Chain A
Amino acid sequence: KNEVEQSPQNLTAQEGEFITINCSYSVGISALHWLQQHPGGGIVSLFMLSSGKKKHGRLIATINIQEKHSSLHITASHPRDSAVYICAVRRTSGSRLTFGEGTQLTVNP
């Protein structure tokens, strides 16, 4: 079992829909990252969380430390949101990131 599990693996939505991507982890962490990767490669850091909730534009990220679970929400989705969304955790016992397998999101017009 991977230490970081994301669901769903693939998600197709219509423009305007509310989207949720989930991340569960099984290790102690000091921070959790949500990353976005478009075709062509570059990775953009969307959020880094250690507790609670953060919002940036149409994106909202929440984390529940007790349940070892985080969600990324996209409101009013748009085709330009189509990308791979990756959850990564930084363990309390080290400095490196452990990545989930990613969620491929496709938003159709």
Chain B
Amino acid sequence: DTEVTQTPKHLVMGMTNKKSLKCEQHMGHRAMYWYKQKAKKPPELMFVYSYEKLSINESVPSRFSPECPNSSLLNLHLHALQPEDSALYLCASSQVDMISYNEQFFGPGTRLTVL
């Protein structure tokens, strides 16, 4: 299994809602990533988890709260988002974060719209 899965595919939420994005991989990878991608722009790194611990937070606002409950799962909890947070949210995984050669495998993304 060389797949990273993400749910839901699409999400529409109001600014007062609380929702969660989910990401799963069964490749035994111990590094997992959240990226945000706006239209016609490259992905921007948000968070990196390494061995289920948060290793990088790219100064992301606290309305985004990541969680890594085990080595296969990565969640992104959303609360009080703004319309400018509407974007494609991509999850990725790799073998180990700090080994420089490792390939990242990306999921299909969740298209988020904040009304």
Name A residues whose Cβ lies closer than 8 Å to a Cβ of B: 30-31, 33, 35, 40-45, 48, 50, 86, 88, 90, 92, 95-97, 99-102
Q: Looking at the assembled complex, report how far the CB atom of A2 sits from the nearest CB atom of chain B, in whole angstroms.
A: 10
Number of A-B contacts (CB under 8 A): 53
> Helix, strand, loop or mixed for chain B's interface?
loop
Q: Looking at the assembled complex, report how far the CB atom of B81 sits from the nearest CB atom of chain A, in whole angstroms.
A: 19
Contact indicator A99/B42 (Cβ below 8 Å): yes
Q: List A contacts of B99 (CB < 8 A).
A: 95
Q: List B contacts of A48 (CB < 8 A).
A: 101, 103
3 tightest A-B contacts by CB?
A99-B42, A42-B108, A41-B109
Interface string of B93-114 (1 = CB under 8 A from A): 0000111110111111101000
Q: Is B80 an interface residue (CB 8 A)?
A: no
| Range, interface on chain B | 20 to 34
Interface string of B22-48 (1 = CB under 8 A from A): 000000000000000100111101001
Q: Is B88 an interface residue (CB 8 A)?
A: yes
Q: How many Å lie between the Cα of A48 and that of B94 in the bound state?
A: 13
Q: Is B90 an interface residue (CB 8 A)?
A: yes
